[in-house]
């Protein structure tokens, strides 16, 4: 399977379990891996291709939409929406908090989900 990879879409949003996260917000990073079939691709035109600008817009709609407590919820919502795009066979989504308000965690936390048709 062929892949389209979009790394680190940065959003400042208001998700989290703690009230401070919901009111103050924080940076989130979202990365995508879209499984597509490019075997018949012979054109250099956007028509007929998976437009990853649309995928990025979906990420932004979810991230700037209704507040969620869990990264898992955000990742699942994004993956489900991406699978609805024509030409996307699989969608892997990583949602990352680079600076979670958890003592001792310095490398961030993330959730990755993968969905397929």
pLDDT at 112: 98
pLDDT at 25: 94
By CB atoms closer than 10 A (0-12, 13-18, 19+), residue 68 is: buried
User: 46-83: per-residue pLDDT in tens?
Assistant: 877 889 999 999 999 999 999 999 999 999 999 999 99
CB atoms within 10 A of CB 30: 25
Looking at the predicted structure, is the pLDDT value of residue 96 above 80? yes
23 by DSSP, 3-state: which? helix
Residues annotated as catalytic (active site), given as ranges: 97
102 by DSSP, 3-state: which? coil
Give percent of the chain above pLDDT 70: 100
Taking the chain, what is the end-to-end CA distance rounded to the nearest angstrom?
13
67 by DSSP, 3-state: which? coil
pLDDT at 40: 80
Spans of all domains in the chain: 2-116
CATH number of 2-116: 3.30.1130.10
Entry field: residues in the chain: 117
Which element (helix H / strand E) includes 92? strand 90-97
- Phi, psi torsion values for 58, nearest 5 degrees: -65, -45
Alpha-carbon dihedral sign for residues 41, 46, 52, 55: negative
């Amino acid at each position: 399977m062929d892949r389209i990879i979009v790394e680190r879409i940065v959003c400042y949003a208001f998700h989290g379990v703690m009230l401070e996260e919901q009111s103050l917000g924080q940076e989130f990073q979202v990365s995508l891996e879209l499984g597509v079939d490019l075997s018949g691709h012979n054109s250099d035109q956007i028509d007929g291709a998976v437009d990853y600008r649309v995928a990025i817009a979906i990420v932004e709609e979810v991230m700037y939409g209704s507040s969620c407590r869990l990264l898992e919820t955000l990742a699942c919502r994004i993956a489900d929406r991406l699978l609805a795009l024509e030409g996307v066979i699989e969608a892997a989504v990583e949602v990352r908090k680079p600076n979670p308000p958890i003592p001792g965690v310095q490398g961030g936390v993330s959730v990755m989900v993968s969905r397929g048709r």
